[in-house]
Structure 1
Amino acid sequence: MNTDWRSHLVTGASTALVLVDIQNSFFHPAGSNYYEAATEIVPNLHRLLRRARASDRLVVHVSEQHRPDVEDFEYAKLPEHCIVGSHDAAFFKGFGPAGNSNEFLIDKRRMSAFFATDLDLLLREKSISRLVIAGVKANVCVRATVQDAFSLGYRCLVPRQAVNSNRPHLADAALEDIDRYMGWAVTLAEAEDALS
């Protein structure tokens, strides 16, 4: 099995950056899902975002948003979080769409950024075939997004230094699964290179 992501490049392929759930809920100390280790990846997320913007790459800002008047099915397993309009649901400082034509917002109500959203349609309209996917949590929303992306035919790169979890052993297992079955777990430098 060839694990080098460069050998799987499609001629003329275009790459997008997908940032998953960079929201106060996970990154702000007052967030309902905050964990201290999340802040460790913030500088690396900024690096990816700067590189994507400098290279005029498409950037997708994925935001978990739950309706205030709906008893969401996720609450069967998780406490209420990221309610539309709340501090929890807002983007963490320095993240979110910059207002230019290459940055898009995708709101989701489930773990995968593809489930019941128009993300796949958007990417196909923009002729995107390769994704750099980063954010939180490696073993939950990042993994679910990568799995759906792979099933839809996208080549997925996940920079190890730009994802993590409050359960490090599960983040490690998720990255191993991604690298073995669904994409490529790469270094931050390789992800930046892919966005260049």
Structure 2
Amino acid sequence: MADSNLRPLGVEPNVWWVDDQVADVSRQALQPRLATLTTQTKQLRVDLSKTACLVIDMQNDFCHPDGWLASIGVDVAPARRAIEPLQGLLPSLRSAQVPVVWVNWGNRPDLLNISAGLRHVYNPNGAGVGLGDALPANGAPVLTKGSWAAAVVDELEQGPQDIWVDKYRMSGFWDTPLDSMLRNLGKTTLLFAGVNIDQCVMATLQDANFLGYDCILVSDCSATTSPDYCTLATVYNVNQCFGFVTDSAAIQAALGQV
């Protein structure tokens, strides 16, 4: 700043510089870091300074053989296919100063903001193991914030600079601070990864599109326990209506340009 006596208030780039007499609200822009990203439909010019990666629901309850889905008979092996590509991509994103945002299902223990319809999805007769109930393998409460059940799988390292957001619906934007956090950070282009590609990943991506973000689905870093046609439909709909589809190799190539 021209006046060294001014002090910052806020999170870059949404920062004011102030003292007793002055409030500089010009919000100086981040230095652009441009790269070209290959997608299935177009070559994208992206600004890495305005980009963040949302990693959705890579949690024990969805991806671990002792987690919730496995306990109710779902084969979680397909969901785990996203782990290895993410192991390669996330360190590179951090090195390129692209924030990694963990958007994880982490309910209140009392479930006061969870509707009957949400609880019905995986416990349709009310007699099974549902949200907040103890897992058979270890007693952890299903998708409860702070529990083993809601934790990110051990295979994915979390960095101290990473950002965490708890969600309570399939969309990470509904009833959460995700949108306000991203806007404070000046992020307009979002990479999407995680599980399930046709459910929580897609719902979050759609809401991001509706809110005006640029949406890029990272196909090999996303997975699902649903039938293959669900992935095909998701990729088609993202390309057709909601954004772009790429993979981790293309992102690594784009990062190498900066």
Identify whether the pair has TM-score above 0.5, normalized to the shorter chain. yes
Question: Does residue 186 of the first structure (1) align with residue 246 of the second (2)?
Answer: yes
Look up the match of 1:157. Answer: 216
* Segments of 4+ moved more than 6 angstroms: none
Tell me whether 35-44 or 69-78 shows the greater mean CA deviation. Answer: 69-78
* Larger relative contact order, structure 1 or 2 (CA cutoff 8 Å, min sep 6): 1
TM-score of the superposition, structure 1-length normalised?
A: 0.88
Question: Does residue 31 of the first structure (1) align with residue 67 of the second (2)?
Answer: yes
Q: Is the 8 A contact 2:86 2:156 kept in 1?
A: no
Look up the match of 1:106. Answer: 165
Q: How many residues align?
A: 191
**SS of residue in 1 equivalent to 2:61:** helix
Question: Structure 1 residues 10 and 99 mapped into 2: Cα distance closer, same or farther (>3 Å)?
Answer: closer
Q: Is the 8 A contact 2:58 2:152 kept in 1?
A: yes
Looking at CA atoms only, which structure, 1 or 2, has the larger radius of gyration?
2
Unaligned runs of 5+ in 1: none
**Counterpart Cα distance in 2 of 1:14 and 1:51:** 16
Deviations 1:87-135 (A, max 9, x none): 21111114364222xx210000001111111111111111111111100
Q: Shift in Å at residue 52 of structure 1? A: 0.8
Unaligned runs of 5+ in 2: 1-39, 71-75, 124-129, 131-141
Which of 82, 87, 91 is matched with 2:148 structurally?
A: 87
Which of 74, 77, 82 is matched with 2:121 structurally?
A: 77
Question: Does residue 48 of the first structure (1) align with residue 89 of the second (2)?
Answer: yes
Percentage identity across aligned positions?
Answer: 30
* Larger fraction in helix: 1
**Counterpart Cα distance in 2 of 1:95 and 1:63:** 13
Tell me whether 127-136 or 87-96 shows the greater mean CA deviation. Answer: 87-96
Q: Shift in Å at residue 194 of structure 1? A: 4.7
Q: Is the 8 A contact 1:15 1:128 kept in 2?
A: yes
TM-score of the superposition, structure 2-length normalised?
A: 0.68
Tell me whether 134-143 or 170-179 shows the greater mean CA deviation. Answer: 170-179
Q: Is the 8 A contact 1:20 1:141 kept in 2?
A: yes
Q: Is the 8 A contact 1:25 1:32 kept in 2?
A: yes
